[in-house]
Amino acid sequence: MEQQIVKVKNNRGIKVIPGFGISMFVTLGMLGCFVLVPLASLFLSVDALSFWEFREIVTSRQAVSGYAVSLSCAFLAAMINAVFGMLLAWVLVRYEFPGKRLMDGLIELPFALPTSVAGISLTYLYSDQGWIGGLAAKMGIKIAYTRIGITIAMVFVGIPFVVRAVQPVLEKLDRQYEEAAVMLGAGRIYIFFRVILPEVFPALLAGFGLAFARGIGEYGSVVFIAGNIPYKTQIAPLLIMMKLEQYKYADAAAIALVLLILSFLLMLAINSIQIYMQRFYKS
């Protein structure tokens, strides 16, 4: 009876559930129309440049400083988010206190708030007349229009990524290992770093990667606080925007392509680390 029903075709079995054709058509059609074809234009535009022109654009001092600012600030911001995200997830999962639900709901604010609103609020807050910027200015630290400001803006947009990645893992964590460690006499800090953190690390890494990628590509929240000082606070997306405004489409496309490749390599690296760690721990 089983042999009659499951006829092997293409090594994948016949499609028992109806609707394969239309699902494939709609999915590929919409994906192609809205995503793939427009993205292909990027490659087409860069293709129009000769190799030397391409190299000149993407290795120009401005472009390289753009990548450097974006990458370094995003990395630092993602690290900060990893630490505080872990802390927030821990506090939200393990402790009870008044206002916890409010805190939990507020975490997703950076997702719901438009980046331009976040951008102007953060700029005001950290400018020399702002509430925090003013305090910092008295101590001689300038925040807005510096890389510090950019990093803070990137931290803002990345908060939910790490918290929401780590929270479910912490919630499902089996307490028996901790309890065994307690009974064997381990101190709390030791337990955290040797028992809990390794379990949570893949999720933490995934959240870090997402926050990093978001920081690299972020435009709206950063562009106001950055101040666009050439070679100092010009993030790569802003550079692309500038080239567009100057109608230098090929330049913009070239820089965008390099940025895409950098982000892609980054995600690949993080995924590989994750896979490696999984194998390491499985054995």
Instruction: State both tokens at 131.
Output: 């509430």
Q: Smallest distance, Å, CB 59 to another protein?
A: 19
Nearer residue to another protein within complex by CB, 105 or 140: 105
How many residues line the site for another protein (CB under 8 A)? 91
Nearest one of 95, 153, 192, 123 to 103, comparing CA atoms:
95
96: left (phi over 0), alpha (psi -120 to 50) or beta: beta
> Among 72, 116, 246, 272, which residue sits at the site for another protein (rule: CB under 8 A)?
116
- For residues 205 and 274, the answer to whether their CB atoms sit within 8 Å is yes
* Binding piece for another protein, criterion CB under 8 A, among 140-148, 164-172, 180-188, 194-202: 180-188
Residue 62 in the binding site for another protein (CB under 8 A): no
What's the CA gap between 236 and 216, in Å, rounded?
8
Residue 140 in the binding site for another protein (CB under 8 A): no
CB neighbour burial string for 23-48, b if at least 16 within 10 angstroms, e if fewer: eeeeeeeeeeeeeeeeeeeeeebbee
Backbone torsions φ then ψ of 259, nearest 5 degrees: -60, -45
Where in 140-251 does DSSP place strands (E)? none
Q: Smallest distance, Å, CB 237 to another protein?
A: 4
Instruction: State both tokens at 237.
Output: 């997306």
Residue 187 in the binding site for another protein (CB under 8 A): no
Q: Which of residues 152-171 bind another protein (CB under 8 A)?
A: 155-156, 159
Here's the x/- map for another protein, 246-265, by CB under 8 A: it reads as: ---x--xx--x--xx--x--
Nearer residue to another protein within complex by CB, 72 or 116: 116
Task: Please state the separation of Cα 225 from the chain's center in Å.
Answer: 19
Q: Smallest distance, Å, CB 8 to another protein?
A: 12
Residue 132 in the binding site for another protein (CB under 8 A): yes
Residue 88 in the binding site for another protein (CB under 8 A): yes
> Among 79, 120, 195, 270, which residue sits at the site for another protein (rule: CB under 8 A)?
120
Here's the x/- map for another protein, 9-38, by CB under 8 A: it reads as: -x-xx-xxxxxx-xxx-xx--xx--xxxxx
> Among 9, 105, 184, 279, which residue sits at the site for another protein (rule: CB under 8 A)?
105
Instruction: State both tokens at 2.
Output: 């089983």
Distances (CA, A) of 141 to 51, 153, 154: 44, 17, 19
Q: Smallest distance, Å, CB 88 to another protein?
A: 5
Q: Smallest distance, Å, CB 103 to another protein?
A: 6
Q: Which of residues 198-217 bind another protein (CB under 8 A)?
A: 213, 216-217
Residue 269 in the binding site for another protein (CB under 8 A): no
Residues, the chain: 283
How many CB atoms within 10 Å of residue 135?
12
Q: Smallest distance, Å, CB 5 to another protein?
A: 7
Residue 193 in the binding site for another protein (CB under 8 A): no
Rg (CA), the chain: 24
Instruction: State both tokens at 185.
Output: 């006499």
Nearer residue to another protein within complex by CB, 115 or 146: 115
Cβ neighbours for 186, distance < 8 A, ≥ 6 positions apart: 194, 195
